[in-house]
Structure 1
Amino acid sequence: MEHKFTHPKKGLNIVIVGCGKVGLSLVDKLSKENHDITIIDRDAGKVQDITNLFDVNGIVGNGANFSTLQEAGIYDTDILIAVTNSDELNLLCCIVAKRVTDCAVIARVRTPEYSQDAAYLKSKLGLAMIINPDLESALEISRILCLPSAVGVTPFARGLAEMIRFRIPEGNRLDDRRLRELGQELAGAVLICAVERGGEVYIPDGSFRLQAGDVVSFIAPTRGSKQFLRRIGLETHQVRDALIIGGSKTGYYLAKQLLRVGVNVELIESDRQHCEELSTQLPKAVILNGDGTDADLLREAGIEHVGAVVPLTGIDEENIMLTLHTQAVSRAKVVTKINRIMFPEAIDRLNLGSVVYPKALVTDAIVAYVRSRTASKGSSNIETLLHLFDNRVEAIEFIASEGSPVVGRPLRELPTRDHLLVACISHKGSILIPGGDDAIQPGDSVIIVTTHTGLSDLSDILA
């Protein structure tokens, strides 16, 4: 069960330019966290639809136009977030806003050429964040293909720890076992921190009994994850070869990442000219020109024997159908990219396995930044935010600050909220799965897993 956390801190004034899928998702999340939001879009219909759904202000216009930003209250704005479909417009919105105010600015930038210069652009233009949903999706998919028994893999503590999500297979040694009985399997600093079963989500204690079919989330030092999975009999070797269906930006980023880690890549793209461009950009990949939904072409491409298949057609329905087809003809690991999250229950019932939502990756990163600003007036208080199980569980990485009421006291003495775990502490580069006698120190990265939503400061874990 999700527990809404009502935060007493004053919200921020936020301007969101762009009312597409990401803009709508940001409005949905941030409007629930006590922020004053103004949206800007050239499409009057989109502005009307969102202002009808949420208690936000709406302006029809160009977000890079100074008079439009004035109307949106730019001089009183804390954060401007530009997430239109145009990289150039997003960057221009941020430049104009920074010229007239000291607000923080965030831009969505997807073009590979711009992404290569992300650090330069961020520094020279004064951006708080540049976020690329296609690159983030590719990195998420790559992490899963490097650990194919996982449903999802998320790094924490600058890559020193990770949260792994996997489904317990029939006959696995975890089936019908209580957590307190798993001393040997959990040895090596592993903490099972969330379980989904039959639509319900649990933050388990030692008496919780696991079952086949449960989707389990555990956190561990990065090198300890594979040891645990091997110990319980799951595959830990990365795939040897992958078939990517669709030469989108995500397909390009994914192919580049997989080739870098030694995976053989075959990519199908329907546009001949784009195939030629990809052949130049990805000389070590095999690029095929054809319809990725053609069963005969997929068979010729080796779908029945390949280690992984990733449908990236740009159309959710095609990606889902390709996943179901692959499951019927192959034992390949499949990762499905879905842009719209309209029917999550139906998607869950399809049992697609690993599903990546680019919109969620972008939204989580931006909401983490906004919460940091809310809590500590600009300091980097939240490093990572991850929503799990249809947003019913949050995993949040905080940086502990000097003077925090949770610092320096053994965890067993902290009156923490119910349905909340202090899952992991990173102290001076060492990863600790904490016990009751351990204490949080200033500068530590602390990962909290909870069904409470909206925590923006480490002290919020206290009851």
Structure 2
Amino acid sequence: MSKQKKPAGGLNIIIVGCGKVGTTLVEQLVKEGHDITIVDKNAKKIQELSSLYDIMGIVGNGASFSVQQDAGIENADLIIAVTESDELNLLCCTLAKRVAKCSAIARVRTPDYSKEIVYLREKLGLAMVINPELEASREASRILCLPTALEVNTFANGQAELIKYKIPEGNPLVGTTIAELSRKTATSLLICVVEREGEIYIPSGDFTMKKNDVISFCTQRNFSRTFFEDLSVKTNQVKNTMIIGGGKAAYYLAKRLIGMGINVKIIENDRQRCEDLSVLLPKAIIINGDGTDEELLREEGIEYAESFVALTGIDEENILLTLHARQVSNAKTITKINRINFKDVISRLDLGSVVYPRYITSEAIIAYVRAKNESGDSNIETLYHLFDHRVEAIEFKVDQESEVTGTPLQALDLKRHLLVAFINRNGKIIIPSGQDTIERGDTVMVVTTHTGFNDITDILK
């Protein structure tokens, strides 16, 4: 297949590794207008993806100089190595940095390397080192700190939070308009998105909330707890958790939870892995057994667990385990899902919180690609996709004055289906009113159903 002509404004990107994350990246980056070349040893995967997305594919070892040459490394803007091997990913990026002027991103998952991410990034000159399991554990631990929430996303270096919450029957929010919300709570917050019966709304002041609405609201860090307390909703951090599966994600999560004073019990089938975990996590209870055995789960106290996290390597197992836990206990549940097949079916199941490691990885990379692709000084700090990729929450850094700066928000000609959720000014989070302005030096979070924003000026019509 001949090399495609580079799209206007797009980047030349080489992706090494066509597994789950590599496939997700191809799907997203092609959609955003970039010129993609994929490299993998598996000829069948290369053929399938290159035919599906009309991109160039090279069969071979991505750490080979000749293979990188065939992939066009001299003209590449970015190489992303997401094979199953950390060492191969680092070698791919190191070689690319030696022979070309491209940026490089490596996926690195081994705990030994995760302690050295800053060192690796600096010494090897990498733009980013990303660890999906570590990031998934951070997301899960944030949820277990605020178990009322379905999702907790952080912005502004952790100073602001975007919280997803399902409104139950009898909640004070039922029948309340967005404009009336200040009477129910003294907390400064902004409801950015509402999902109702599968439909997505960026709500205006006259929008009335109903039971079973799923809302995403933005507020300053730790203010979300005050908001829930105003609604008489229990928000206490869980005291214990039961984790099924003892892989990397379980290790990272258990380590974080133990550090927060939460009691951890891990059930893992592989005896050798249990012995390893016992050494790595001396404060955790490690059980060698089949996590799908109902009798074992009952013996280990699933009925009394405050939280239950399904982290096996099989999505179907994780889903069934969570459904069982919700049936026999009142535990806060978190389910790890790697594939995205049958996503519509999964979203209709009562699974509680769901974590997708592959999306966490791809979103961090896409945020970097959009920022790199922007010729101006303003750039993207953070990017999250919400509600099955139908909504984007994007944090922009405003490095220069433009048509959006210095003018009250109510006077700007903003696109529809868009909200400015917060302004971070010198570490102070402002939930903006119409009179507030965006200034040079701010970071600004925008929530919108539009896609592909690269710069803060994209919020204007």
TM-score of the aligned structures, taking structure 1 as reference length: 0.97
What is the DSSP-based 3-state SS (H/G/I as helix, E as strand, rest coil) of the residue aligned with 2:410?
helix
Deviation at 1:234, TM superposition (A): 1.7
Deviation at 1:9, TM superposition (A): 6.0
CA distance in 1, matches of 2:127, 2:332: 36
CA distance in 1, matches of 2:29, 2:184: 40
- Residues 11-90 of structure 1 aligned to structure 2 (within 5 Å): 11-90=10-89
Match of 1:113 in 2: 112
Question: How many residue pairs end up in the alignment?
Answer: 455
Match of 2:4 in 1: none
Does the 8 Å contact 1:339/1:359 carry over to 2? yes
Does the 8 Å contact 2:378/2:455 carry over to 1? no
Does the 8 Å contact 1:425/1:440 carry over to 2? yes
CA distance in 1, matches of 2:419, 2:181: 18
Say which structure, 1 or 2, has more relative contact order (CA 8 Å, 6+ apart).
1
CA distance in 1, matches of 2:357, 2:283: 26
Match of 1:3 in 2: none
CA distance in 2, matches of 1:88, 1:420: 42
CA distance in 1, matches of 2:449, 2:37: 29
CA distance in 1, matches of 2:147, 2:222: 16
- 2:267 matched to 1:268? yes
Match of 2:298 in 1: 299
Deviation at 1:195, TM superposition (A): 0.6
Match of 1:410 in 2: 408
Does the 8 Å contact 2:323/2:350 carry over to 1? no
- Residues 251-290 of structure 1 aligned to structure 2 (within 5 Å): 251-290=250-289
Match of 2:222 in 1: 223
Deviation at 1:405, TM superposition (A): 2.1
What is the DSSP-based 3-state SS (H/G/I as helix, E as strand, rest coil) of the residue aligned with 1:385?
strand
What is the DSSP-based 3-state SS (H/G/I as helix, E as strand, rest coil) of the residue aligned with 1:179?
coil
Deviation at 1:51, TM superposition (A): 1.0
Does the 8 Å contact 2:423/2:442 carry over to 1? yes
CA distance in 1, matches of 2:161, 2:11: 31
Query: Percent identity over the alignment?
Result: 58
Deviation at 1:185, TM superposition (A): 2.7
TM-score of the aligned structures, taking structure 2 as reference length: 0.97
Letter in 1 for 2:364: A
CA distance in 1, matches of 2:373, 2:91: 25
Deviation at 1:186, TM superposition (A): 4.6
Listed one character per residue, the Cα deviations across residues 432-452 of structure 1 (whole Å, up to 9, x for unaligned) are 001111111112110000000
CA distance in 1, matches of 2:166, 2:140: 17
Moved more, 175-184 or 413-422: 175-184
Does the 8 Å contact 1:9/1:375 carry over to 2? no
Q: Which runs of 5+ in 1 are unaligned?
A: 1-7
- 2:131 matched to 1:132? yes
Listed one character per residue, the Cα deviations across residues 155-213 of structure 1 (whole Å, up to 9, x for unaligned) are 10000000000100111111122111222235321000001111110000011111111
Letter in 2 for 1:291: D
Q: Which runs of 5+ in 2 are unaligned?
A: 1-6
Does the 8 Å contact 1:9/1:374 carry over to 2? no
Match of 1:438 in 2: 436
Match of 2:207 in 1: 208
CA distance in 2, matches of 1:402, 1:137: 34
Match of 2:3 in 1: none
**Structure 1 residues 314 and 267: alpha-carbon distance in aligned structure 2, compared to 1, 3 A threshold:** same
Does the 8 Å contact 2:241/2:305 carry over to 1? yes
CA distance in 1, matches of 2:185, 2:413: 26
CA distance in 2, matches of 1:247, 1:348: 25
What is the DSSP-based 3-state SS (H/G/I as helix, E as strand, rest coil) of the residue aligned with 1:395?
strand
- Residue 398 of structure 2: which of 397, 400, 404 is its match? 400
CA distance in 2, matches of 1:372, 1:11: 12
Output the aligned Cα RMSD.
1.1
Match of 1:161 in 2: 160
Match of 2:149 in 1: 150
